[in-house]
Amino acid sequence: GQSLEQPSEVTAVEGAIVQINCTYQTSGFYGLSWYQQHDGGAPTFLSYNALDGLEETGRFSSFLSRSDSYGYLLLQELQMKDSASYFCAVGAHGQNFVFGPGTRLSVLP
Amino acid sequence: EAGVAQSPRYKIIEKRQSVAFWCNPISGHATLYWYQQILGQGPKLLIQFQNNGVVDDSQLPKDRFSAERLKGVDSTLKIQPAKLEDSAVYLCASSLEDNEQFFGPGTRLTVL
């Protein structure tokens, strides 16, 4: 089977940097995605890592270490609108696409 | 570009009743997904279509849930009969590739 772990909650202040970790267990792994979901809204795609290393997209960056079955989402220059739930999701050959339990980020003024 | 459309947005039914949800994916997206998201949890994949064929339905409770994607475009998800534990948001998504899925607004189902 597959499993993903994320911290349930993270709190930070505006302008700060926060890192949301994700560890996974699966066979046939081919990629790790990150999605943002505001309360009452639909998940929206943030980033995707298939290879080891850091991918940067504006204020958001995502990192993957395939050997450690670990990734993280880095959010810089936090804004109030970044308060949301963040999900990592794993794609694996021969297995269904799986989302993690989500990390609820609260950004304080 | 129009996004993924879903209807209805909200539905309230009593247990043992039937309900159906509709999804229209982004034009040209061959892959369509139905997810169930219970409050406070991540989305759980119910079924994945590639065009009009089923790629994965391993987590679909087939005794009560069914889905179809006729002509490889629109899709419907049906629950018959509904149980209290089916109360959730049902999300439809579509994609060109697995790594970037586009989600519709979802249907919030309440089973009383």
Q: How far is B85 from chain A (nearest CA, A)?
A: 18
- pLDDT tens digit sequence for B30-50: 999 999 999 999 999 999 999
pLDDT over 70 (residue B98): no
pLDDT digits (tens, 9 = 90+) for A60-97: 999 999 999 999 999 999 999 999 999 999 988 877 78
Residues of chain B in Cβ contact (below 8 Å) with chain A: 33, 35, 40-45, 48, 56, 58-59, 91, 93, 98-106
Q: Per the CB < 8 Å rule, is A96 touching B100?
A: no
Q: Calculate the average pLDDT of chain B.
A: 95
User: Which of the pair, B22 or A97, is modelled with greater confidence?
Assistant: B22
Dihedral sign of CA atoms A81, B97, A70, A65 in order: negative
Average pLDDT for residues B65-93, to the nearest whole number? 96
Is B101's CB within 8 Å of A45's CB?
A: yes
Task: Give, as one character, the DSSP assignment of residue A52.
Answer: S
Contacts B91 to A, Cβ<8 Å = 42-43
Distance CA A2, CA A42 (A): 23
Of B43, B100, B102, the CB nearest to A99: B43
Q: State the pLDDT confidence band at A54, using cuts at 50, 70 and 90.
A: very high
Per CB-CB distance under 8 Å, the chain A contacts of B105 are: 41-42
pLDDT bucket at A33, cuts 50 / 70 / 90: very high
> Would you call A19 exposed, middle or buried from its count of C-beta atoms within 10 A (0-12, 13-18, 19+)?
middle
Rounded distance, CA B26 to CA B34, Å? 14
Return the structure tokens found at B63. Answer: 């005794």
Is the CB of residue A71 less than 8 Å away from at least one CB of chain B?
A: no
Residue B48 three-state SS: strand
**Lowest-confidence segment of A25-29, B77-81, B106-110 by average pLDDT:** A25-29
Radius of gyration of chain B measured on its C-alpha atoms: 13
Find the closest chain B residue to A37 by CA distance.
B42
